[in-house]
Amino acid sequence: MAAAVADCEVNDESNDNGNDPGAAPYGNFQNYYTFNPPENRLSLIPSTLLQEIGCSTESSETILVLDVGCNSGDLSLALYKHLQGHHSQTGELRLLGVDLDEDLILRAEQSNPFRENISFIPLDITHDLDSRTQLESYLARFGRSRFNLCACLAVTMWVHLNHGDAALLELLSRLASLSDHLLLEAQPWKCYRSAARRMRKLGRRDFDHFKTLEIRGDIAKYAKKHLERRCGMGLLRSFGRTTWGRKLLLFGKREMRQGEI
């Protein structure tokens, strides 16, 4: 039986089969998409998104999408099919999914029916040199220096809790430097408290930085401020809130029209 999980990916209820989803300190839940299926995000994302961000139907250029923290790949595959539906006259769509958990990447590879167009690799996005080398190597295969679109969904909290304030801002800067557009879903502060509470309840070591974090409260607001002031990006559009009440925000180059959270 799948775990019943609240809007912060973890709750205070024990799972009868012992496979507690809150026991993943890096967010690498083994059954993540059983309690947060891809439709929870895709229902907000227009299938015409690629056209809306300037991937012209008149261009034959390969369109590159990066999914950071792809877990077992369910959302990566669903996102590819979702965007591909209105993509028949554009350039070829390629998607790269990355996750630090090698077992989850193996599962993603094994269930991937689109091996020509979707790739999965194990990668810890917080390792600056390694991640940049691998991602730039992938981009170089297409003669490119940036992805058209990067999706970073429910990843920021785990980087923040495990590596601190500076690492959160470095993550945003790195993704902005590697992509023309960034689709961001940042967990709110209540999720941090739930994650820390779950770790304590399970008798696990507390997150290294939880008690010393200075960036608190409206994390999405902090991310927006950093992307605008430090990364040359502006908010293009808010797709509203997911079923878990999180903002789904699209950022792009500063010269593009900015919206409001």
For the chain, the domains span 37-186+215-253
What whole-number distance in Å separates Cα of residue 39 and Cα of residue 17? 26
Average pLDDT rounded to a whole number, residues 7-11: 57
Confidence of residue 202 (pLDDT cuts 50, 70, 90): confident
20 pLDDT above the threshold of 60: no
- Contact present, 3 and 15 (Cβ < 8 Å): yes
Domain 37-186+215-253's class?
alpha beta
pLDDT, greater one: 247 or 10? 247
Confidence of residue 56 (pLDDT cuts 50, 70, 90): low
pLDDT for the residue 174:
97
Structural element, H or E, at residue 132 = helix 128-140
pLDDT, greater one: 240 or 260? 240
pLDDT, averaged across the chain:
88
Average pLDDT rounded to a whole number, residues 74-95: 83
Percent of the chain's residues with pLDDT above 90: 76
- Contact present, 112 and 160 (Cβ < 8 Å): no
pLDDT for the residue 21:
52
What whole-number distance in Å separates Cα of residue 74 and Cα of residue 121? 14
Residue 253 tokens, joined: 């180059």
φ, ψ at 100 (rounded to 5°): -75, -15
SS3 97: strand
pLDDT one-digit tens code per residue, 140-190: 999 999 999 999 999 999 999 999 999 999 999 999 999 999 999 999 999
Closest CA to 68 of 182, 238, 163: 182
pLDDT for the residue 61:
86
Give me the residue label for tokens 């690498």: 28
Q: Pairing mode, if any, of strands 181-185 and 247-253?
A: antiparallel
φ, ψ at 66 (rounded to 5°): -115, 130
pTM for this structure? 0.90
Average pLDDT rounded to a whole number, residues 35-45: 96
Rg (CA), the chain: 18
What whole-number distance in Å separates Cα of residue 258 and Cα of residue 251? 8
pLDDT for the residue 15:
40
pLDDT for the residue 11:
47
Average pLDDT rounded to a whole number, residues 250-258: 73
What whole-number distance in Å separates Cα of residue 180 and Cα of residue 49? 13
Structural element, H or E, at residue 235 = strand 233-241
Closest CA to 118 of 90, 145, 88, 138: 138
Average pLDDT rounded to a whole number, residues 74-102: 87
pLDDT one-digit tens code per residue, 218-227: 999 999 999 9
Confidence of residue 253 (pLDDT cuts 50, 70, 90): confident
Residue 150: which residues within 8 A CB-CB, separation 6 or more? 65, 66, 67, 68, 175, 178, 179, 181, 182, 183
Residue 65 bridge partners (DSSP) = 95, 149
Burial of 67 (0-12, 13-18, 19+ CB in 10 A): buried
